Amino acid sequence: MDIPTEIVAGVIVTVVTTIGSITILLLKSLRDEFRNLTAKLDAFGVNLAKVDLVVSKMLLVQSMCPNCPHPNIKIDTELELIKVIDTSKEGQ
* Per-residue pLDDT of the chain in tens (92 residues, 90 and over written 9): 688 888 889 999 999 999 999 999 999 999 999 999 998 888 888 878 887 877 787 777 777 776 766 655 666 666 676 677 666 666 65
**What is the C-alpha to C-alpha distance for residues 23 and 34, in angstroms, rounded to an integer?**
16
| Domain boundaries, position 15 | 5-91
> Does this model's pTM top 0.85?
no
Distance CA 62, CA 43 (A): 29
SS3 69: coil
Number of domains in the chain: 1
